[in-house]
């Protein structure tokens, strides 16, 4: 297993659509607690199980499924503090996918 350098850390994830998250990763890197700080779902929180792999030095592919059925995948680059995010969710017209970019700022816990 690679060294999950995000493990045990908290980041502010600011997305290009105006959403802002506070993402706190478990010490072993296998769980995430997120809080929505800004955007349509402000105030929402959840704990999710992560599937993660280091795909290049300091670059992690991290994915999870939320209770709502939303799926989320991050290509999280800790070298440049950027994220490419892809999420899918159901609507009355079928399943929708969105691709976003954003920045990470490490926060003190």
Return the pLDDT at 108.
85
Number of independent structural domains in the chain? 1
Is residue 4 included in any domain, yes or no?
Answer: no
Is residue 2 included in any domain, yes or no?
Answer: no
Return the pLDDT at 3.
85
Is residue 3 included in any domain, yes or no?
Answer: no
Helix and strand totals (H; E) in the chain: 0, 9
Return the pLDDT at 2.
58
Is 15 in contact with 36 (CB distance < 8 Å)? no
Is residue 1 included in any domain, yes or no?
Answer: no
pTM for this model (two decimals): 0.92
Domain with 34 in it: 10-107
Is residue 93 included in any domain, yes or no?
Answer: yes
Q: In the 8-state DSSP scheme, what is residue 69?
A: S
Is residue 74 included in any domain, yes or no?
Answer: yes
Q: Give every CB contact of residue 25 below 8 A, 6+ residues apart in sequence.
A: 4, 6, 7, 8, 9, 10, 11, 31, 32, 50
Q: Output the tens digit of pLDDT for each of the chain's 109 residues.
A: 458 999 999 999 999 999 999 999 999 999 999 999 999 899 999 999 999 999 999 999 999 999 999 999 999 999 999 999 999 999 999 999 999 999 999 998 6
Q: Give every CB contact of residue 92 below 8 A, 6+ residues apart in sequence.
A: none
Is residue 14 included in any domain, yes or no?
Answer: yes
CATH number of the domain that residue 60 is part of: 2.40.128.20
Is residue 33 included in any domain, yes or no?
Answer: yes
């Amino acid at each position: 297993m690679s060294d999950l350098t995000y493990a045990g850390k908290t980041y502010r994830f600011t997305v290009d659509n105006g959403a802002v998250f506070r993402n706190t990763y478990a010490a072993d890197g296998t769980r995430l607690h997120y809080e929505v700080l800004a955007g349509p779902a402000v105030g929402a929180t959840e704990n999710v199980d992560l599937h993660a792999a280091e795909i290049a030095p300091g670059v992690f592919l991290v994915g999870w499924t939320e209770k709502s059925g939303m799926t989320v995948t991050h290509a999280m680059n800790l070298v440049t503090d950027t994220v490419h995010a892809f999420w899918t969710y159901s609507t009355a017209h079928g399943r929708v996918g969105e691709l976003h970019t954003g920045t990470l700022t490490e926060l003190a816990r």
